[in-house]
Chain A
Amino acid sequence: MQKNDNKSVLKRILPYFGPHLAGLAVAIFTMIVVTAVHLIRPMILRTIIDQAIPRQDINMALKYAAFFILCLIVGAIAMYVRVKIMARIGAEVVAEIKRRLFGHILNQGMRFFDQNQTGKLITRSESDANQLKSMFTQSTAQLVASSMLIVGTIFVLLREDFRVGLVAMLSLVVVGLVLFFYLSYIRSLYTKVREKNSALTGYLAEYIQGVPLIKVHGRENDIMNNLRMRSQEKADLECRAAFIEYTLFSSSFRFCTEIGVLMLLFAYCSGRVYAGTMSVGTLVMFIELMRQFFRPLEFLIEVLAQLQSALAAGVRVFDVLDTEPAVLDSGEPAPELRLQSHIEFRDVSFAYDNEAVLKDVSFTIPRGQQLAIVGASGSGKTTCINLLLRFYDPCSGSVCVDGRDIRTINLDDWRRNIALVLQEIYLFPGTIMENLKAFHDDVSDEVVIAAARELGAHEFIMRQSKGYETMLAERGANLSYGERQLLSYTRAMVKNPDLLILDEATSSVDVITERELQNSMEKLMKGRTSIVIAHRLSTIRKADRILVFEKGSLVQSGDHEALMCQQGIYKDLVTIQTSGKCEGGAAVELIAAEPAGAVA
């Protein structure tokens, strides 16, 4: 995978502008117009001073003034047109990039999501892409405009008075260098300030969340002192930055570029005015030109820095666009595929980052069987599910359906037959109905409602403000855990798959809710081939068969009674958790809760 750098980013962005070349041309033309207007103004002023006034020619003055007004109008229109055009081009180009990025990320395999946190991906998709946009709509325009103005000014100066022009060029270089170093320094300082800021925000969040704890232990004063200390650190850094920026830099910079330049010009030019080789009007023009000389230079250097970070953002964006999915979708289409007879794991081994997670696992699941998988955390249960769904592919061995390696089947067609229910409930922005349909328009409402009724979700859905058309606020945060779990089951039911994969929840719901969820779960599983990563004894007992995993190997297999008769890890797991006293002990957790979304 080739690494991107700033230059290559520029090359790769260019094609996105293809459809917008005409607009770009117009934009560039308008920039030239605007620059011309900026340069004309001092010249008109000079003409009036040097020619109209001495000649006492009012008509000439009026003519030039009228000409100037015309230039202004043209310039204003040109600038506005430019802004509008660049805004549209920038917005559309970036939207296209975001679209591609999102599509590309969605196509990635699980490995990609393991290596890239959600927060980071959102930054890529949003803030990095937006930085690219600002590059088009603002930075580039500013860059071109400022450069043109500087070049134009120097050109005019050189033409008028070679020496003044030279000195201007020299000062350009010197001031430019100074600005460059200063700006990089101050930027790093402000980066530190930003870091301190976000650190402080983090501390504040902790302190506020900890208020009850702090009060119970009587630590209010200590917390106030901590806050004060951290606030002070940040404040000191900010004051230091402000001191450097304003008192040290800004005053000396402005002294040099305003007063210093003025003094130099005046000293040099007054001699020439007296000698008769320069008009007063020219002096005035020089003063005006030099006064608008250094500001574009400042903008230019700032913009270069902005461009640099925008390009860096671009590098990050294109790096994502260049990643290849680890799981190749090279299988044949099989839209009519159904599970006919069995699923088989043949000598499947899988390692994650050189850590072996599954070792030579083999088993068969006949159609219609209710299978439970148990084992301690890290024993490989979740991996089996991930391989079945082709979130990863095995390192050796194969997963087969009806004797056929699932890798030979088109990914979408294979997954159409499986429904996944995870411990953590994922719902998406949209209505309840849309979520239950998994956003497929071709599913009828009736099917959804029937499924909801069957699983006991219909009642609480109808209780919501708009029933099925209620928009889920914050992905269902206002529903209870039990209700969200029911939606998750219903979504699976609506899909009506041949194969159900369920990662049983272990969060401490109370016993009554648990029982209701269990009922729904059983209805969902009825008549379907089901694989359940089970944590509850009751679920396990009802399974047709249980697979026991330990450290990546399949160590025991059979139903509950059979396994209890064997000396092995299963019996130990069950015995430890139940109370020594009676059968039918409390609903126990067979193993300690796993963090949701574990790899293995």
Chain B
Amino acid sequence: MKATVKRKDLRHTRLYYLKWIWNEYRPHWRMVLFLLFLTFLSTIMAVLFPMVLKHVIDSLVEGLKSYQAGTTTLEIARDERNRLLLMLLAMGLGPVFSGIYPYFRARMNVTFEMYFREKFFAEILAKGHRFFLKFRTGDLVTRLTEDIRTNPPGLSWLCCSGIFRAINSTSIIFFCVLSMGLLHWKLALVACIPLPIMLFIFIKLETSFGESFKDVQEGMSEGNDFLEAAYSGIKIIASFNARRPQLQLFDRLLQKRISQEVKVDGLWGMFMVFFEFLNYVGEIMVLIFGGIMVIRGTLTLGTYYAFFSYLGMIIYPLMDIPMMLVTLTQACVSIDRLEDMQEADRVWQELDADGELEISSIDSLCFEGVSFSHDSLEKLENVENVGEVPENSRAVPFSFSDLSFRVNKGEKVAIVGQIGSGKTTLLNLISGVMKPDEGSISINGLPLARIRKQSFRDRIGYIQQEPVIFSETIRTNIDFWRNQSDELIQKCASLAQFEREVLSFPGGYSEPVGQRGVTLSGGQRQRLSIARALVGRPELLLMDDITASLDAANEKKLWADLAREYGSITCLIVTHRMATAMMADRIIVLKDGKIEAIGTHDELIALSATYRDLAHA
């Protein structure tokens, strides 16, 4: 049960969303058709049942009369009874069928869920960096799971179960009313008077329930935040003697929750009451009027009873329909959210077309007059989880202007600068994950944008500051699905000074890490990440601040090993460790979005105030 969404919260008309769903049906038309057929069958089965019961009871009454009047014998009566039993047996198809229909609905739900997930994940894969500034990981995961899930109801559920159940319910109600009308239209009229009222009440209740539930959800969220802060900051609370104030604050939260919860439960209670008892209102009408008619002889007993059956059958679909309406609105919100995701940063996707040129090696990297700016957020490197623009952020646009430099094959270039000076962005521009606003980046004299992506990316390695580890084995993490040999993997692991640690795990390279396995420390993750980059046999290595993983002595060893194994590898390494910078062939100093200076350590000490500052402080 989700919180209610008001129509004005939606971006489009209902018709738009229905059309959207219709479009998604097209690739699955066979399944849709099959389900429509099943829905039709289900309605028929359901509606036939009271008819059969009516026939059974009427036959019994007639048979009894004849028997008592002496016009039939017990044998004939028994034969009649057996015939009726067979009819009842045939109605057994109903329950059997009622097991098959939901199964196929569930299958379709699940199929849609998979389909949506893959479709929208592919969209995400194609997006550029600006997209990930706008959308946090958690948010994206929510959109690909909670928004589209089948249980509790999300988009997939609606696309299938939701819509088909609504069709089923509507047709059941329609055919029940029709059947009742065919049996005895006057009584049917009387019996159906309460129906629209009931529907209206159910709809009202669903919406108010949803609104109150939203409050409860917010209360829960507030409570969770409060507890998380309190439990993780327990040392501060204890040392600042803040226990009592925290308890008081918590108490206040709890009181608020009590009134919210009672309200929600009260509404739920109303719902249950109506469900249990309103049902009977129609029955009362039938009881009174139908009873009179039976007495007067204008209605048979069987028909009398059939009316009860039909009324009993209508209550569930009647409840279903408001539920569908609410879920439909929920799903519309999800559709909006998914479209948001699709539409965001479309520009990037257009710019990101694959090139056609092939390269066979990376001999030089050249930046000419490159300018770049982030639209609103700065401090790209310092922010872990960038989401919506926080209220209080200083919206200082961050930009590069006019960067020009050249790196030749085999050079080791260090990149230094203050936090926020764009070091990571520079690496991202080189790798092609971000694109310059002006100027050009070229590889071997060819513009990077025109080089075929796979051709370039197969030759580079990127080591992030905060490496991503997947819940797979160590080997798969290092191999990264490139199907390389064990030999190469082990060699790279030992180059990254990771091998000894790997062998210390009980499973060795097959040890699972991540969610289901061992948690690696920060340093271990980075060393794995180094191994991963090396397995690709890169010609260009981009390293974003690997200082956490290796102390100065070990880093020296890494460089030595790299020089030995990957002799002509070109390295660009972002660092704030002076020892590293000093080992580089050249150092690029970034300040305020510009290259302040390029040179060797000694040259820069003399030339660059910024460098001196960084070196001495």
| Residue in B closest to A251 when the chains form the complex, CB atoms | B99
> Quick check: is B57 within 8 A (CB to CB) of the other chain?
yes
> Quick check: is A479 within 8 A (CB to CB) of the other chain?
yes
Set A68, A83, A254, A422: member contacting B272, Cβ < 8 A = A83
Q: Would you give the shortest CB distance from B457 to chain A, in whole angstroms?
A: 4
Cα A418 to Cα B481 in complex, Å, equals 54
Given contacts A203-B471, A266-B56, A480-B379, contact A58 B295 (CB under 8 A): yes
> Quick check: is B189 within 8 A (CB to CB) of the other chain?
no
Q: How many residues of B contact A (CB 8 A)?
A: 160
| Residue in B closest to A256 when the chains form the complex, CB atoms | B95
Given contacts A91-B261, A95-B255, A239-B106, contact A215 B150 (CB under 8 A): no
Cα A76 to Cα B278 in complex, Å, equals 9
Q: Would you give the shortest CB distance from A569 to chain B, in whole angstroms?
A: 15
Cα A479 to Cα B391 in complex, Å, equals 10
| Residue in A closest to B268 when the chains form the complex, CB atoms | A83
Tell me if A439 and B246 are in contact (CB < 8 A): yes
Residues in B with CB closer than 8 Å to A593 are 522, 548
Residues of chain A from 198 to 215 with CB closer than 8 A to chain B in the complex: 199-215
- Using C-beta atoms within 8 Å of the partner chain, give the interface range for chain A: 35 or more
> Quick check: is A406 within 8 A (CB to CB) of the other chain?
no
> Quick check: is A579 within 8 A (CB to CB) of the other chain?
yes
Question: Mask for A61-104, Cβ within 8 A of B = 1, else 0?
Answer: 11001001100100110011011101110111001001100110
> Quick check: is A333 within 8 A (CB to CB) of the other chain?
no
Q: Would you give the shortest CB distance from A483 to chain B, in whole angstroms?
A: 10
Cα A54 to Cα B617 in complex, Å, equals 107
Cα A202 to Cα B470 in complex, Å, equals 10
> Quick check: is B305 within 8 A (CB to CB) of the other chain?
yes
Tell me if B545 and A439 are in contact (CB < 8 A): no
Set A48, A56, A232: member contacting B287, Cβ < 8 A = A48
Q: Would you give the shortest CB distance from B462 to chain A, in whole angstroms?
A: 5
Interface stretch (choices B190-198, B223-231, B438-446): B223-231
> Quick check: is A426 within 8 A (CB to CB) of the other chain?
yes
Q: Would you give the shortest CB distance from A513 to chain B, in whole angstroms?
A: 7
Cα A595 to Cα B548 in complex, Å, equals 12
Q: Would you give the shortest CB distance from B484 to chain A, in whole angstroms?
A: 12
Given contacts A105-B231, A280-B60, contact A79 B272 (CB under 8 A): yes
Residues of chain B from 266 to 296 with CB closer than 8 A to chain A in the complex: 266, 268-270, 272-273, 276-277, 280-281, 284, 287-288, 291-292, 294-296
| Residue in B closest to A125 when the chains form the complex, CB atoms | B227
Residues in B with CB closer than 8 Å to A57 are 295
Question: Mask for B64-105, Cβ within 8 A of A = 1, else 0?
Answer: 100100000010010001001100110110111111111100
Tell me if B462 and A216 are in contact (CB < 8 A): yes
| Residue in A closest to B304 when the chains form the complex, CB atoms | A49
Residues in B with CB closer than 8 Å to A263 are 85, 88-89
Residues in A with CB closer than 8 Å to B269 are 79-80, 82-84, 87
Residues of chain A from 13 to 44 with CB closer than 8 A to chain B in the complex: 34, 41, 44
> Quick check: is B578 within 8 A (CB to CB) of the other chain?
yes
> Quick check: is A137 within 8 A (CB to CB) of the other chain?
yes
Tell me if B145 and A53 are in contact (CB < 8 A): no
| Residue in A closest to B294 when the chains form the complex, CB atoms | A53
Question: Mask for A281-292, Cβ within 8 A of B = 1, else 0?
Answer: 001100010000
Cα A267 to Cα B88 in complex, Å, equals 11
| Residue in A closest to B472 when the chains form the complex, CB atoms | A226
Tell me if A258 and B95 are in contact (CB < 8 A): yes
Q: Point out which of B61, B223, B280, B390 has the most chain A C-beta atoms below 10 A from its C-beta.
A: B280
Tell me if A210 and B468 are in contact (CB < 8 A): yes
Residues in B with CB closer than 8 Å to A205 are 137-138, 141
Set A102, A137, A208, A510: member contacting B140, Cβ < 8 A = A208
> Quick check: is A600 within 8 A (CB to CB) of the other chain?
no
Q: Would you give the shortest CB distance from A48 to chain B, in whole angstroms?
A: 5
> Quick check: is B250 within 8 A (CB to CB) of the other chain?
yes
Given contacts A62-B288, A420-B235, contact A586 B245 (CB under 8 A): no
> Quick check: is A321 within 8 A (CB to CB) of the other chain?
no
Cα A463 to Cα B98 in complex, Å, equals 64
Residues in A with CB closer than 8 Å to B470 are 203, 206-207, 210
Set A62, A91, A106: member contacting B246, Cβ < 8 A = A106
Tell me if A473 and B515 are in contact (CB < 8 A): no
Cα A258 to Cα B98 in complex, Å, equals 12
Question: Mask for B456-484, Cβ within 8 A of A = 1, else 0?
Answer: 01101110100111110000000011100
Residues in A with CB closer than 8 Å to B98 are 250-251, 254
Tell me if A419 and B103 are in contact (CB < 8 A): no
Cα A255 to Cα B89 in complex, Å, equals 9
Tell me if A208 and B102 are in contact (CB < 8 A): no
Tell me if A202 and B471 are in contact (CB < 8 A): yes
Tell me if A247 and B232 are in contact (CB < 8 A): no
Tell me if B232 and A106 are in contact (CB < 8 A): no
Cα A262 to Cα B215 in complex, Å, equals 47
> Quick check: is B606 within 8 A (CB to CB) of the other chain?
no
Q: Would you give the shortest CB distance from A427 to chain B, in whole angstroms?
A: 7
> Quick check: is B501 within 8 A (CB to CB) of the other chain?
no
Cα A252 to Cα B93 in complex, Å, equals 10
Set B99, B268, B578, B613: member contacting A246, Cβ < 8 A = B99
Q: Would you give the shortest CB distance from B278 to chain A, in whole angstroms?
A: 8
| Residue in A closest to B312 when the chains form the complex, CB atoms | A291
Residues of chain B from 205 to 261 with CB closer than 8 A to chain A in the complex: 220, 222-243, 245-247, 249-251, 254-255, 257-258, 261
Residues of chain B from 18 to 49 with CB closer than 8 A to chain A in the complex: none
Question: Mask for A336-378, Cβ within 8 A of B = 1, else 0?
Answer: 0000000000000000000000000000000000000000000
Residues in B with CB closer than 8 Å to A107 are 243
Q: List 28 A-B contacts (CB under 8 A).
A: A41-B280, A56-B296, A68-B287, A75-B276, A80-B273, A83-B265, A95-B257, A105-B231, A125-B227, A126-B224, A199-B516, A206-B515, A207-B470, A212-B129, A215-B433, A218-B454, A219-B481, A220-B125, A222-B481, A228-B114, A251-B98, A255-B96, A391-B238, A438-B245, A439-B242, A478-B390, A508-B576, A586-B616
